[in-house]
């Protein structure tokens, strides 16, 4: 039986591209037609992704964005930041729907883009004209349904936003929010670097870009959209000896008129009907429970704020797999919503344990 939709992946040789390909090969309604890359041209997909050996006859193609998009219902981009934006005019002209995994179209402020990505945006008008919908289904599902172009969120951003969204939606989130996010090495991409070299990474914890990570304005923008007021995200990312996974701890300060029971109920209610967000009742979130899956886990602990009268502190914990819910899986989830198929399609596997 023929599949209903046709898809192409551009930038398919990286870790995110491999996860896009894997999920599309499993998809009952979407046929993966072609994979474009500047690496491994003419070679089978298993040259970059050994776990796909024997699953497809597709090969990496050195083709233009227009050639990749020709006849496609949707194109998914696994390109680096600052590269994706240069390809977008050609893709928009193709008429295909686009889901972009880079950070190039997440922000609505070109000045912030230049500040955090260290480059002028090549098509800044697309940041402000409403072309791109921010692809966080838990906040923008209805907008994604009718979107032509989706900017899929970053891995840290997804995790931290899910931790804080219930407070933002309830109007309880304002002022400084302190965040520490611990991440695995695959978030740095397939090309080795000093920060991902195994002999150092495997025995180490270290921070990078403290208080200056490029996901900070993305998180701030999203929380404001959800109902937060004057939020300042103070974020310290930490490299950890993991291949996959993010663990974020967020400290928010809310009015003590919001009882502990109310706050816990906010989290339970916010995610009760979300297919990929779990709020465990008998334990706190842990990376191994979501590794290899599109699920996120959220936990919350409420205490008093000894430093500020009239406030209580809320410690929010969130975990994701940075390559799936924090990357390719969430992009597939948005793609499903755009195409009008069950958003859980090809994403429901629970992963393994431990």
Strands (E), the chain: 5-10, 30-36, 60-61, 74-77, 97-100, 132-134, 149-151, 174-183, 206-207, 229-239, 246-255, 277-278, 296-304, 311-320
- In the chain, where the domains are located: 5-153+327-339, 156-320
- Two tokens, residue 16: 């995110």
Q: Mean pLDDT across the chain, nearest whole number?
A: 96
Residue percentage of the chain with pLDDT more than 70: 99
From the list 123, 155, 250, 316, the catalytic residue is 155
User: pLDDT tens for residues 32-58?
Assistant: 999 999 999 999 999 999 999 999 999
Which CATH number describes the domain made up of 156-320? 3.30.360.10
**pLDDT tens digits for 103-161?**
999 999 999 999 999 999 999 999 999 999 999 999 999 999 999 999 999 999 999 99
**pLDDT given at position 307:** 66
Residue 161's pLDDT is 98
CB 39 within 8 A of CB 13: yes
Catalytic annotation present for 155: yes
- Provide the whole-model pTM: 0.97
Answer whether 36's CB lies under 8 Å from 61's CB. yes
Q: Longest C-alpha distance within the chain, in Å?
A: 65
Question: CA distances (Å), 244 to each of 64, 97, 283, 287, in order?
Answer: 31, 29, 21, 8
Per-residue pLDDT, 311: 87
Cis preceding linkage at 293, omega within 30: no
Please provide the CATH number assigned to the domain covering 5-153+327-339: 3.40.50.720
Q: Tell me what the mean pLDDT of segment 227-238 comes to.
A: 97
């Amino acid at each position: 039986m023929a599949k209903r939709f046709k898809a192409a992946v551009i930038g398919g040789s990286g870790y995110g591209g491999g996860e896009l390909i894997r999920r599309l090969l499993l998809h009952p309604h979407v046929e993966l037609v072609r994979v474009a890359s500047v690496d491994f041209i003419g070679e089978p997909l298993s040259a970059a992704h050994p776990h796909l050996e024997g699953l497809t006859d597709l090969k990496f193609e050195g083709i233009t964005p227009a050639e990749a998009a020709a006849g496609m219902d949707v194109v998914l981009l696994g390109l680096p930041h600052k590269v994706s934006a240069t390809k977008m005019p050609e893709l928009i002209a193709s008429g295909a729907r686009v889901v972009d995994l880079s950070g190039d179209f997440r922000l609505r402020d070109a000045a912030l883009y230049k500040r955090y990505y260290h480059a002028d945006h090549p098509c800044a008008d697309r940041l402000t004209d409403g072309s791109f919908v921010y692809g966080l289904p838990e906040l923008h599902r209805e907008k994604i349904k009718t979107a032509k172009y989706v900017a899929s969120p970053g891995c840290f951003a997804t995790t931290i936003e899910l931790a804080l969204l219930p407070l933002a939606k309830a109007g309880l989130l304002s002022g400084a929010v302190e965040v520490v996010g611990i991440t695995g090495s695959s978030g740095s991409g397939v090309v080795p670097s000093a920060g991902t070299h195994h002999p150092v990474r495997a025995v180490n914890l270290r921070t990078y870009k403290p208080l200056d990570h490029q996901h900070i304005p993305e998180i701030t923008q999203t929380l404001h959209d959800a109902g937060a007021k004057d939020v300042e995200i103070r974020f310290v990312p930490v490299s950890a000896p993991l291949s996959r996974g993010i663990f974020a701890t967020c400290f928010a300060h809310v009015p003590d008129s919001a009882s502990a029971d109310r706050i816990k109920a906010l989290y339970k209610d916010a995610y009760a009907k979300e297919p990929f967000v779990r709020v465990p009742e008998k334990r706190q979130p842990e990376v191994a429970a979501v590794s290899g899956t599109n699920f996120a886990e959220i936990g919350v602990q409420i205490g008093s704020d000894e430093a500020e009268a009239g406030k209580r502190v809320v410690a929010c914990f969130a975990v994701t797999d940075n390559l799936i819910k924090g990357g390719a899986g969430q992009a597939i989830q948005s793609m499903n919503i755009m195409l009008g198929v069950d958003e859980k399609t090809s994403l429901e596997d629970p992963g393994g344990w431990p």
